[in-house]
Amino acid sequence: MTRPHQVRFLSDTAGALDVVVKLTVVHSTRLFMEWLAYKRSTIASSHCNHVLSLRNALSLSLSYRCTQCTESAACHCSPLCLLSGRSIMAEDMQRAVGDVLKRVLMVPPTHFTVEYTINPWMGGVVDKDKAQKQWSDLKVAIEKEGVKVDTLDHVKGLPDMVFVCNSGIVRGNKVYLSRFQHKERTGEQEHYLKWFEQQGFEIYGRDYVDHFEGGGDACFSSYDTLWAGFGPRSNKSVYEKISALGDFDTVICELKLPQFYHLDTCFCPVSEKAALWYPPAFSVATQEAIKKRLPDSIAVSDKEANAFVCNAITIRKTVISPIGVSQDTKDRLAKIGYSVTEVDMSEFMKSGGACQCLVLKL
C-alpha cells in the first residue's frame, strides 16, 4: 500500500544543503535508495541556501540541477523534469500531462496523399493546399497555448509520416520506438530513429518484434499513468517492455472496433479525472476501468466519434479538437474548466487521422 511520507534529512557535512524531502514510498528499500542518492550527491555549499525538493521520480531519467541558480548537480540533488523543463513536486506526478506540456513534434504534409488503404477511413483525393493550411492552423493553435513545436521534414514516398504521433511514446528523455504492423509505414521508422538520436533521447525498442504504433495506441494521462491500447494495431505483450520507460501504472485498454483502430481515435485524456471517450470502441472490462480511474469522463456520441472528436489534444485548459464537438460536450467540458478550440482536419481524416495523430508529445 502506498503511503505518503514527510522526511527531513540533515547533512553530516557542515554548510551542506538542508533538503526537505516530500515523496511517496512504496517500499522501505526504495526510501533507503533515495536517501542514499541524496547523501552521495550533497556537498558543502556556503552560498546557496535554496530549499529544493527530491521526489519519487528518479525513474524519469531526470537531469539534476538547480532551477533557481547555477549550482552544480552535486550541490543540489534537485531533479529537473526533461518533459516539462522544470522542477516538479511529488504531487505533480498525478497532474495531467497537458498541464505541463512544453514541446511537441510535427511533420508538415509536404508529401501527404492517400495512396493505399490500411484503415476503414482511407480514401479520396487530398487537396494539398488545404491540407497545408489545416496543418498550419493546428500548429498555430498549439503555439498559442505556449507549446514549442519542433518539426521533422516529410520524406517523399512515406505519405503517412505526417502522423508523427505513431513514431513512438516519450516519457522524460526516453522513447520507446514504434514497430508498424503494415509494410506501407515501416519506412518511416528509420527517420524517426535518426531524429530521436540527434535530440539525445535514450532509445528503447530498436530490435523488438512486437507490433506497437506509438502514441496512437499509448498515452500518458499523467506522469504515473499510461493508457495502453491493443487490438487492431498494437500487441498487448509490448507493454511489459515499455515498462522500461519508468515507474508508472499501466491501464490495458482493449479496442474492439476496426474503425477505431488506435486508442487516440476514441480516447483523449483531459484532466487527472476526465477524458473524452467513445465507450462502444472498448471492451466491457476496459469501459469499467476508464469509469473507475477517470470518473468525470465525457462520453461522445456516434456522430462526434465519427468526426474524430476524440482525436484531440489537451493543453492547459484547452481541448484542441477537429470540427464536430457538440454543444452538450462543450458545456460538459466547461463545467470542469475546459474550453474547446476546433480546427478543420477534413483532409487528414481522408487517411484516418486528425489533431492528435499529427502531434507527438515530447
| Catalytic annotation, residues | 262, 357
Return the amino acid letter for 215: G
- Interacting residues of 304 by C-beta distance below 8 A, sequence separation 6+: 278, 310, 324, 325, 326, 329
- Of 105, 106, 123, nearest to 114 by C-alpha is 123
- Name, in order, each residue with C-beta under 8 angstroms of 104's C-beta and a sequence gap of 6 or more: 142, 147, 148, 149, 150, 359, 360, 361, 362
255 three-class SS: strand
> 229 and 217 in contact (C-beta within 8 Å)?
yes
CA distance linking residue 127 with residue 120, whole number of Å: 20
d(CA 251, CA 49): 41
Among the listed residues 346, 60, 63, the one whose alpha carbon sits nearest the alpha carbon of residue 354: 346
Strand order across the 318-322 sheet: 313-315, 318-322, 339-343
Q: Rounded CA gap, 261 and 247, in Å?
A: 27
Helices (H) and strands (E) in the chain — how many of each? 11, 20
From residue 309, how far is each of 58, 206, 252 by CA, in Å? 36, 33, 22
Q: Are 249 and 225 in contact (CB under 8 A)?
A: yes
**CA pair distance 153, 278, nearest whole angstrom:** 33
